[in-house]
Amino acid sequence: MKIAIFLSGHVRTMFHKFDENIKLIRDKVGECEIHLFYSFWNDESRVDRINDAWHLKVNNYVLRKKDIKTKKLNEYFLKIGIDKVDGEIEDISLMKDVIDNTPFRPEYSGRNVLSSQYYKTTRVVSKYFSPDYDFYIRLRSDILLNDFPVKEQILSIVDEKCLLVNEYYWYNKTYEGLDCNEMILGGGKKVFYQVSDIYSNQDKISKQLNYHYGELVTGVHIKNLLNSSILDEVCIFDFKYNVLR
């Protein structure tokens, strides 16, 4: 089995325990080839707010801007067991341009970075997607997985127009067909590219909603894909993850 992992956005706490994700995937899936692709900003900032029991505080962790280099990142990924890696780092000034032209209104918190997020998730997949893989998964770099589908579960959806989403979109809030967790998504080659392309659809989605936040935007995008028959089904799985901050 060949698995493609896509990371994007900020590096955050990735160097802390991301290696445990790769070990978990190999333990759950068995023999497999794992390739990883990334598109990061050259910015060392990270959010350290603890919102709920999902979030774990990482102490004594320092990310320096000089650590966010393709050579260092590639060396790290190969060291932790990735079979092939490719990626890019873009200047943070581009993020400002993307945000300045967003069609989304600020979230309840006042932040308005949705377009930046979707630019990056779309960017990494559009640049590095290949139909050569069995399973594709999008992760955020500060995610620590505690469970992963076994090989038989993955094989049951790879040839279907099925999207795999986390059971919970917020802490103790289950996916019920709308709000959807956007930190982790997976699927086969028939659906993964289209699911990742929110950025090209952001104008349409923004007009469908009276208010904007990430889980709702992602959920509406998925509903649009279901309505247009690009997706046939949304399957759920509890990755039992934590966010390391």
Q: pTM of the prediction? A: 0.96
Instruction: Calculate the CA 211 to chain-centre distance.
Output: 22
What is the distance between the alpha carbons of residues 244 and 239, in angstroms, rounded to a whole number?
Answer: 15
pLDDT tens digit sequence for 146-198: 999 999 999 999 999 999 999 999 999 999 999 999 999 999 999 999 999 99
Q: How many domains, in total, are found in the chain?
A: 1
Q: Who wins on pLDDT, 138 or 109?
A: 138
pLDDT tens digit sequence for 35-87: 999 999 999 999 888 989 999 999 999 999 999 999 999 999 999 999 999 99
Positive/negative CA dihedral, 166, 187, 122, 31: positive
The neighbouring-strand residues paired with 136 are 4, 187
CATH number for the domain that contains residue 16: 3.90.550
Q: Which domain holds residue 103?
A: 2-244
Q: What are phi and psi of 41, to 5 degrees?
A: -85, 150
Closest CA to 41 of 102, 113, 93, 86: 93
Per-residue CA distances from 151 to 32, 101, 148 (Å): 9, 42, 9
Confidence (pLDDT) at 143: 97
Confidence (pLDDT) at 110: 76
**Considering the chain, what is the average pLDDT of its residues?**
96
